[in-house]
A and B are shown apart, each in its own frame.
Chain A
Amino acid sequence: MYGKKGSELVRELASSEPGQLSAFNNDLFAQVIEECTGHLLHLGPLIRKIEQIKKIEEVKKLNNQELEESDKATLKAHNSGALVHHLSLLRNKRCLMAYVYNRAEAIRSLGWAIDRVLPEEIEEKLSSSEKEYFKNHAASLQSYMSELDLDLAVDMVPPKDPYIKVRVLEDIGNVVLSDQSANLACHAILFLRRTDAEHYISQGLMEELNG
């Protein structure tokens, strides 16, 4: 059935949790594209045939004659055939676009949550074009922020206290922070300025301890 694969693609998108990315479905995606090419192959000859009959009709009109009944019927059939292929193509296009567009939205929101470099487990779920898109988009965002001279990637939650308690997850070493220099050794538990800590947290080098 026409358009079934496209809808499967969109259903896959709809059934995953919002903001979550599943692996890019290359196979299904390629199949839908193939279906589109197939539609075009049908569509071309049909349109040519329709034009032929229309030409005959015009010639006959000049001679005050009408199309023969059989020609009228084929015209009708070809018209509906072309319409079906055209609409199926549109539908497939919409499905493909929805798939790519919505994934791109999820990729963009990832850009806010993590620092520039994608973790491996996410990266392998993306298509090559998506990886490129993530990089380009992150660069656009970066250039906006540097033009404003304001880092927008910190302060994602409303601040309660200027300091938060964090645990260091990987050896970072001695670092000069905005108000102190600290030795960020693995497993150390520290009180840090929230703005300092957020960078490390988004890179997965630290976690915030609650309570």
Chain B
Amino acid sequence: MESGAGERSSQYSEMDDYESLISTTDAELLKRAWQNEKAAPQILRFEAALVQRSREQIQLMEETVEEYTRNGSDPLTVSLYQMDLDRTLFLLRSYLRTRLQKIEKYMFHIQKTTELWNRLSRPEQKFMGRCIEDMEQHLDQSVLSKLPSSYKSHLKQSSSSEEDDMVPEPQLDTYVICRSNRFLGAFQLDDSGEETVNIEADDLYALPYKSIKPLVETGQIDLV
């Protein structure tokens, strides 16, 4: 927000600079992280630094609003600041909330996939641990304790299953809408390399999440 206000004066002469600068402000980054998290079927890496910065900024904005209110500044200015603050707070809360909901949904899957487990923040990991305990207890009380001993696992159908075949997993081949802000060239959709897509800057594509997963994870493409 601060950098945006400074840029606004030279808005007309350096429109491009402004555009590129505004797209790297924390507010914009948070929006992107939130959008990606909302659209991706799988849990993404926790944006620890970004969340930390956003929280500091929120605190700063809260102090500003408070100060302005105390000084009896123009109510319109205060309310504009307040609105900006509310929006950032919403983005942050919704971002964290979306992640928690994914954790709740795929807890057993995340638990046994180290890569996904490492994407969570510490509090999220703690939360998931408790979630799993609660769920296990509930399943056990309701169903599993009443079943024969070789059918008691909540991960396997029976003790004769070799793999965990009762764990809900996210569907990775679902289609997502995505957009890249720069030209990425021909991109292979599947391993066979038969289907390729030319990814142009700022064009919208509907592609299976599975095939663009690496691009999402490295931040080359955004989900909408």
Contact = CB atoms under 8 A, between A and B. Distances in A.
Interface of A: 33, 36-37, 40, 43, 86, 89-90, 93-94, 96-97, 100-101, 104-105, 108, 112, 127, 129-130, 132-133, 136-137, 139-141, 143-144, 147-148, 150-152, 154-155, 158-159, 161-162, 179, 194-195
Contact of B148 (A89, A94, A108, A133): A89
Nearest to B138: A133
Contacts of A86: 158, 160
B182 interface: no
B148 A40 contact: yes
B12 to A, nearest CB: 29
Nearest to A92: B147
A159 B97 CA distance: 16
In the complex, the 3 A-B pairs of residues with the closest C-beta atoms, listed nearest first? A140-B130, A133-B138, A144-B127
Given A148-B96, A148-B123, A152-B97, A162 B166 contact: no
Interface of B: 55, 69, 79, 82-83, 86-87, 89-90, 92-94, 96-97, 100, 104-105, 123-124, 126-127, 130-131, 133-135, 137-139, 141-143, 146-148, 151, 154, 157-158, 160, 166, 168
A136 B137 contact: yes
A164 to B, nearest CB: 11
A93 B86 contact: no
B87 A159 contact: yes
Nearest to A44: B148
A158 B105 contact: no
A106 to B, nearest CB: 12
Nearest to A194: B86
A136 B104 CA distance: 13
B142 A158 contact: no
A100 B139 contact: yes
Contacts of B158: 86, 89-90, 93
A108 B104 contact: yes
A96 B146 CA distance: 11
A40 B49 CA distance: 54
Contact of B90 (A97, A130, A136, A158): A158
A194 B83 CA distance: 11
Contact of A36 (B133, B142, B146): B146
A137 B127 contact: no
B89 A155 contact: yes
A141 B69 CA distance: 34
Contacts of B87: 158-159
Given A148-B96, A155-B93, A93 B143 contact: yes
A144 B143 contact: no
Contacts of A94: 157, 166
B151 A90 contact: yes
11 contacts: A90-B158, A96-B143, A97-B143, A101-B139, A140-B130, A144-B100, A144-B124, A150-B92, A152-B100, A155-B90, A159-B90
B130 A143 contact: yes
A93 B166 CA distance: 11
Contacts of B141: 129, 132
Chain A CB within 10 Å — which of B89, B139, B147 has the most?
A: B147
